[in-house]
């Protein structure tokens, strides 16, 4: 509480231009990692993330505005999920993204990769498969995934971590088996 009984304003955080540029650079790297280097909307996603972060600060929703990294990363994740959802709803935009998202990979390699992922998913527990698919392919909000699967939101992170670890283990076994068959 400040003087006169007013609540303390959380915004603006006094960041230098170089600090803001550093945040933008880190967001671009995050978007590039998730969507590929040729994503035509990378700058829009970064800008939308920054705008939402600023709005959240103005509304006092940022608990630690002096440390923007984690909050801004979460905002960016949400913008990326929304972007994926929009691409899935509009297939013509998806074609453009598909042309650029995996440069240097042939259609045969792409099909082989898809088959390997599908085979791996089929070996996971049904719940793990459903949760990973809902979160990462269908881009459902975590709250919805928790409600549909009867999982407390506080436990979702652990469930996802373990499901991804099982996926990785099964997938790596398949990669080793394919390598042995080729030699």
Where along the chain do its domains lie?
Answer: 11-101, 107-182
What pLDDT, on the 0 to 100 scale, is given for residue 71? 83
Structure-model confidence comparison of residues 96 and 16, the more confident one: 16
Q: How far apart are CA 98 and CA 88, in angstroms?
A: 11
- Burial tier of 154 (Cβ tally within 10 Å: 0-12, 13-18, 19+): exposed
What pLDDT, on the 0 to 100 scale, is given for residue 106? 66
103 pLDDT higher than 60 = no
| Predicted structure pTM score | 0.45
48 pLDDT higher than 50 = yes
Joined tokens for residue 142: 């975590």
What pLDDT, on the 0 to 100 scale, is given for residue 4? 45
What pLDDT, on the 0 to 100 scale, is given for residue 3? 43
Structure-model confidence comparison of residues 116 and 146, the more confident one: 146
What pLDDT, on the 0 to 100 scale, is given for residue 161? 92
Among residues 139, 155, 149, 159, which one has the least CA distance to residue 86? 139
Among residues 73, 179, 171, 49, which one has the least CA distance to residue 120? 171
119 pLDDT higher than 90 = no
**Which range among 24-28, 32-36, 69-73, 100-104 has the greatest average pLDDT?**
24-28
5 pLDDT higher than 50 = no
Other C-beta atoms lying within 10 Å of the C-beta of residue 180: 8
- CATH match of 107-182 with 3.30.590.20: no
CB of 90 closer than 8 Å to CB of 141: no
What pLDDT, on the 0 to 100 scale, is given for residue 183? 67
7 pLDDT higher than 60 = no
- Mean pLDDT, the chain, rounded, equals 79
11 pLDDT higher than 80 = no
The 3 state secondary structure assigned to the chain is: CCHHHCCCCCCCCCCCHHHHHHHHHHHHHHHHHHHCCCCCCHHHHHHHHHHHHHHHHHCCCCCCCCCCHHHHHHHHHHHHHHHHHHHHHCHHHHHHHHHHHCCCCCHHHHHHHHHHHHHHHHHCCHHHHHHHHHHHHCCCCHHHHHHHHCCCHHHHHHHHHHHHHHHHHHHHHHHHHHHHHHC
What pLDDT, on the 0 to 100 scale, is given for residue 158? 92
What pLDDT, on the 0 to 100 scale, is given for residue 35? 80
Other C-beta atoms lying within 10 Å of the C-beta of residue 83: 22
Provide the percentage of residues in the chain whose pLDDT is more than 90: 16
Among residues 37, 35, 38, 40, which one has the least CA distance to residue 76? 35
């Amino acid at each position: 509480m400040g003087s006169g009984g007013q609540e303390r304003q959380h915004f603006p955080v006094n960041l230098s231009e170089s600090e803001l540029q550093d945040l933008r650079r880190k967001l671009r790297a995050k978007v590039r990692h998730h969507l590929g280097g040729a994503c035509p909307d990378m700058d829009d996603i970064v800008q939308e993330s920054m705008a939402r972060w600023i709005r959240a600060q103005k509304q006092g929703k940022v608990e630690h505005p002096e440390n923007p990294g984690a909050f801004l990363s979460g905002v960016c994740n949400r913008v990326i999920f929304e972007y994926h959802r929009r691409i899935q709803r509009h297939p013509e935009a998806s074609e453009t993204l598909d042309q650029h998202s995996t440069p240097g990979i042939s259609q045969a390699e792409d099909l082989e990769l898809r088959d390997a992922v599908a085979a791996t998913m089929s070996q996971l527990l049904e719940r793990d498969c459903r949760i990973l698919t809902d979160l990462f392919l269908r881009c459902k909000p975590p709250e919805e995934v928790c409600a549909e699967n009867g999982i407390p939101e506080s436990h979702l992170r652990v469930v996802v971590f373990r499901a991804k670890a099982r996926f990785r283990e099964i997938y790596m076994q398949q990669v080793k088996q394919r390598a042995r068959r080729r030699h």
